[in-house]
Amino acid sequence: MADKIAIITDTTACIPKDKVEEYGIELVPIGLVFGDRVYRDGIDITPAEFYDMQRQAKEPPTTGSLPEPYLEAYFRAGKRARGIVCITESSRFSGMHDSALLARRMALARMPGMAIEVLDCSSAAAGQGLVALAAARASAAGQGMAKVVALVKGLMPRVHLFATLDTLHYLVKGGRVPQAAALVNSIFKFKPVFSVNGGQAHTLALPRSIDSAMKRILKLMAKKTKKEQPVHVAVMHADVMEKAEVLRDHIASRFNCIELFITEFTPVMGVHTGPGVVGVAFYGEEPVPGL
């Protein structure tokens, strides 16, 4: 059995396929429910296909989280690793963390001696993805279970996520926002800028265009980073690649990016927000004491 620690996360993490393959991350597909049919995120349906279907759907899609996909991932990972770290979406947002914990109990009954840690991520979407990637790099560098877990716990509070919504239509349709808010938004055409941190979402600003919203996101990002600080950055979008590319180019020109990529916004969260989301998740490198 290999000495490495296997990293497991789910498709809410917005990790590009090439990075999943590069680091051997086990990616658990979350179920996307349209009517009486369930699609496995990233397997049966792509984000672009999901958002196209969502635009046409009469009834809002939902998500489903079961322990079995996590259990299967534990078994696969257990064949090649001596320990497993599973990073899930915040339990404040979904039942995925509970499903992963239930699967852990089931797995340990059949894999005695295997160490499995299930960590509740305080960020979301690409923020969760950046945490999983950092854990995978630590594992690839030969770090043991305790150090990988400590890295994840120390990194999560340092990850920032800022994004903007194109419309409140889907939040209203799914019952997440009252109809009155949609009426106000239809009059003023707000493009809310929000953050996700500590497992909670907060509205930060109400600009009236996506371009203004992206400028606000860049200002917020600048406030959270030090001058010339090396940063890891993931730009995410929900079926608006051109906006993501503009945001990426601005970030590349203004910040010292040692990691910068574009990824698709997870349909698992897009169920509530709809297409048109664009945003960024990032964290800054901390100086090594004594250097």
Q: Are residues 263 and 212 in the same domain?
A: yes
Q: Are residues 231 and 275 in the same domain?
A: yes
Q: Has residue 181 got a pLDDT over 70?
A: no
Q: Tell me how far apart the alpha carbons of residues 35 and 30 are, in angstroms, rounded to a whole number.
A: 16
Q: Is residue 20 part of a domain?
A: yes
Domain containing residue 148: CATH number: 3.40.50.10440
Q: Which of 270, 205, 278 is nearest to 247 (CA)?
A: 278
Q: Is residue 204 part of a domain?
A: yes
DSSP state of 281: E
For residue range 190-227, what is the model confidence (pLDDT) as tens digits? 898 999 887 788 889 989 999 999 999 999 999 999 88
Strands of the chain, DSSP E: 5-10, 26-28, 31-34, 37-40, 62-64, 83-88, 115-120, 160-164, 193-197, 200-205, 230-237, 256-264, 278-284
Question: What integer pLDDT is reported at residue 87 of this predicted model?
Answer: 98
Range(s) of the domain holding residue 259: 160-284
For the chain, the average pLDDT equals 90
Q: Are residues 189 and 274 in the same domain?
A: yes
Which of 157, 191, 211 represents a domain boundary (last residue)?
A: 157
Q: Are residues 153 and 164 in the same domain?
A: no
Phi, psi of 123 (to 5 degrees): -100, -165
> Can you give the length of the chain in residues?
291
Instruction: Record the tokens describing residue 132, joined without a space.
Output: 């999983």
Domain containing residue 200: CATH number: 3.30.1180.10
Taking every pair of Cα atoms in the chain, the longest distance, rounded to a whole number of angstroms, is: 61
Q: Is residue 49 part of a domain?
A: no
Q: Are residues 185 and 149 in the same domain?
A: no
Q: Which of 94-98, 125-129, 220-224 has the lowest mean pLDDT?
A: 94-98
For residue range 68-94, what is the model confidence (pLDDT) as tens digits? 999 999 999 999 999 999 999 888 877
Q: Has residue 96 got a pLDDT over 50?
A: yes
Q: Are residues 24 and 139 in the same domain?
A: yes
Q: Has residue 158 got a pLDDT over 50?
A: yes
What's the predicted TM-score (pTM) here? 0.92
Number of domains in the chain: 2
Q: Are residues 137 and 195 in the same domain?
A: no
